[in-house]
Amino acid sequence: MEVEELKVKKQIKKYDNEKKALISILQDIQEEYNYLPPEALKIVSKSLDIPLIDIFGVATFYRAFTLEPRGKHLITVCLGTACHVRGGPKILEEFERKLNIEAGETSKDGQFSLETVACLGCCAIGPVVVVDSDYYAQTTIRKVSSILKKHIKKD
């Protein structure tokens, strides 16, 4: 998706070009493009008069932001200790096999990005998988297909 300067400027204007709104502006841009395109960050830098390096600093500090194009859906497999002992790595392998990618990558059709996390804070219901904002508790290898199908269907 190409970055439209006017569109980005409009998103910035929504916050009256306030420097303190940087995180909200970045969230809006990420929602629009599914990641933070460098061209958009340059526009933000100019408009808010914040050095580009500082914007990259914020963008890389928060896990919610990504500088790489992401798939339409983000799958996060928990590999924290509690989820690990209950089969987290096997579940991750199954997602990798089904999507033909490794953790940290995006499927060729741009549908799914796959990531891991160290703990989601809900260890009692592990192994946990999160797709976008949907939590899947006590996940098993057998549930992987239906999880993927459910999210393709939602589109």
Binding site for ligand FES (CB under 6 A): 78, 80-83, 119-123, 126, 128
**Smaller CB separation from ligand FES, 69 or 89:** 89
**Smaller CB separation from ligand FES, 141 or 152:** 141
Least CB distance to ligand FES at residue 41 (A): 32
Q: How far out from the chain centre does Cα 42 lie?
A: 21
Least CB distance to ligand FES at residue 108 (A): 28
Q: Which amino acid is at 50?
A: I
Q: What distance in Å separates the CA atoms of residue 142 and residue 135, rounded to the nearest whole number?
A: 16
**Smaller CB separation from ligand FES, 99 or 120:** 120
Contact 44, 50 (CB under 8 A): yes
Strand partners, 78: 117
Q: Give the residue nearest to ligand FES (CB).
A: 80
Least CB distance to ligand FES at residue 126 (A): 4
**Smaller CB separation from ligand FES, 37 or 80:** 80
* Distant-in-sequence contacts of 132-140, Cβ < 8 A, 24+ apart: 132/73, 132/74, 138/86, 139/91, 140/87, 140/91
Q: What distance in Å separates the CA atoms of residue 140 and residue 90, rounded to the nearest whole number?
A: 9
Least CB distance to ligand FES at residue 74 (A): 16
